[in-house]
Structure 1
Amino acid sequence: MAKQQASPEVKASGATIYSVAERAGVSIATVSRVLKGGAVVAETTRQKVLTAVDELGYVPLGAARSLAVRHHEAHGLVLPELAGPYYAELLMGFEARAAELAQSVVLVLAGSRTDLPAAVRQLATRVDAIAVLGSSAIPDSVVRLLRDMKPVVVIAGEAGVGVEAVAAENLESARELAGHVLDHGRRRVLFVGDPDSGPDHRDRHAGFVAAHRDRGLEPADPVRVAPSEADGTAFARRLLRGEHEADALMCANDELALSIMTTLQDAGRDVPGDLAVVGWDDVMTARYVRPGLTTVRQPVQELGALAANRLHELVSGEPPLGHAQTLPTQLVVRSSCGCT
C-alpha cells in the first residue's frame, strides 16, 4: 500500500507549508519546528522561515481550523508589559470576564519579545480571538497581521478595517483637568508624557492643548517621557536641576505623577505650593498620598472586561459594530492641584 501523503497546511491565499519551505530553502520539518517555537533552530534559518511566512501570508492550519470551528475556549491578550497598576487592573478585568464566559486567557507581553510577529502568529494558533493594547510598543503591522487571522479588538486604541476598539474617554476629561489647573492661576503647565505612545495619551495631550486655547493661552511643548515610575523620577531630577521651568505638571498617568511628586517632596519642594501635580487613572495610591492626587478616574477593569466580552460576541457570530465602544471617565479633585 502506498504511503499516505501528509496533508499540507493551507491558507486561503494558497500558501502552504511546502511553499514556505521552498521559499526559505529548508525542509518542511524545519518550518514546522520554527512555527511551533519549541525546538532549537539556528537563528539565520529561523529568520529565513519567518521572512517566507510574512512574504507568503501563510497561516498554519491550526489557526484557520480554530477560527472555522469556533471552539470558544480561549482569548488572547497582547500587552506591552505587566509593570505598573494599569496593566494589572486591565488584566484582572479581562480575565474575570473571560472566566465568566468559560474562556481561558493566553497572554503575550510585547516588550519581552524579540520577534513579536512570530509570537502573535503562534498565539493565533491557540486562541479564537485576540485583544491588543493600542500602544506604540505594538506596531500597526502586528494588528493587521492578527486581523487577517482572528477577530481582533484593540484596547485604548482606534477601530479600523476588520478591527474593533474599546476605549475610555480621554479628550474632554483631559480638557477639564487641564482647565482646572489653569483656573488655579498656573501659567507654566507642562504635559509630561509622550502623545505618540498611543491614542489615549495623544487625546490627553489634545485636551491639554484645548484647555489652554480655550483661555487664549499657548501650551508648552510636551515633555516626552515613557509612562513609568523610573521615567517620572528621572524627569523630576531634571526638573530639580533647572532643566525645565514649570509651576504645574499634568502627567499622562498616575504612575508618572506619583513618582514625580515623591521625588520633588524628598528634595524639599512643596506640592502644590511650589508645583501642582495632577495625573490620570485614579490608582488606589492616589487617595492615600499627601497631598491627595488630583487625577481622572478611568474604569480600567471595566475596560478589560468589555474587551473580553466583545471578543466573545465576535467569535459567537455577532456583526461588527463599526465604531469604538467608549466608557466615561471622571475628574477627581483632591489637593495636589492646589484645592483645599
Structure 2
Amino acid sequence: MDEVQGREGTEWRTGERLTLRVLTIYRDSFGSLDSLFQPGDLPPPGNASLNAYIEQLTVSHLARLSGRAIGQLAAHDSQMLGRPGMRRYDWRIILYSLSGARTLREAISRCAECFEAIDWRCGRMTLSTRADMAELALDSMRPPGQTVSGCLIDLFGVTHIHTLLSWLIGRPIAIRHVALDHEEVVFRALDLPEFMFNVRLADGWTGFAFDAAMLDYPVVRSADELATRPPGNLLFGMGPMDDGPAADIAEQVRRIALRSLCDRQRMPAFEEITATMGGSGPTLRRRLAREGTSYRQIRESCRREVALDLLSRTVLSIEAIAVRLDYCDSDAFRQAFREWTGMSPSGYRRAMRLAA
C-alpha cells in the first residue's frame, strides 16, 4: 500500500482511533510504551504525543502495532489472573493443525482440538449450528468480572480468528454479527469507532455468527503459505488477503482443482467448481475470461503440473499416472503430454534421470 494512500480514507481513520485506544490502555497497564517496540522495527513515539505519532503510520502499521500490543496485554491479563499464557511456539502449533484441513468446518474442528491440546491457553473454541446459521464461540475462560482491557482483548481475538479462517478459504466470511459477553457500559468505555459489522453485547457468549453453508467451503491455502500469511484484521478494514498478493479467481479455481486432483484423483467438473465458489457458471466464466484464461486451460495446467512431478519424483507407471490424472486411458494422457512438452512421458522421465 502506498504511504499516502495508507493514511487516507475510512480504514485509516477507523484504525487511527482504534490504535489510539489500544496504546492508551497498553500505557496505562505497563506504565509506558517502551516494551512494545523492537530494534529495527517501527520507531517509538519519543516525545511526540500519541495522536501525532499515530498520524504518521499507515493502516498496516496501525494493525501490526495494535496486534502486538493486544498480544502483550493478553499475556499480562493471563498472568494477573494466575493462568498460563500463550507460549512462543503455541501459535505455530495451531497453524500446523490447520495445514491438512480440507474444509472450513474441518479447520475449525482442528483448531478447537488444538486449543484444548495447549491447555486452553488461548481459550476454548466451540462451533454450533442453528438452521442456516453457524456460531463460532471463543471463550477466553476469564473469571467473572469485566474490564475494558478484557473486552478489547476479546474483540481482537474474535476478529483475528475470523481473518485467519477467511484467509484459509480465500474469501471473507460474511459476519452476521459479532457477540461480546460484556456489558454495554464496558464496551462503550472503549470509545471505539463504528464497525462494519453488528455487535451484540451481554448475549451470553463471545464469537461471531455466519452462514452455515460456508462451513463446507474448501481450504485453498497450503501448509507452506500458513507460516507466511499476510497480516490482516477486520477491525482495520483489512481483508484476509490484504497487504499481500491477492489470490485472483483463476488462482482460487486452480487451487480447488489441484487439491481435488491430488486428494481424490479426479478433476472436478466446472459445475462443482461453481458450486464450491458460489455464484453462477456464466459469471465465473466471464471472470476467468477477464483474467485471460478458462477452466479448460486451468484444468490442463493442473494436470501438467502433477504429471511433471510424478514423472520426475516417482516410479509410477504411465498407466498409473494416467489414472491419477483422471484420464480415460494412458493413450489420452500420452497425447496430452506431447502437446504440453513435445515429448512422450517416458522420454521426459529418462531426460530427468539423466539430468539428475
TM-score of the pair, normalised by structure 1: 0.26
- Where is the helix percentage greater, Structure 1 or Structure 2? 2
Of structures 1 and 2, the one scoring higher in RCO (CA 8 A, sep 6+) is 1
- Where is the strand percentage greater, Structure 1 or Structure 2? 1
TM-score of the pair, normalised by structure 2: 0.25
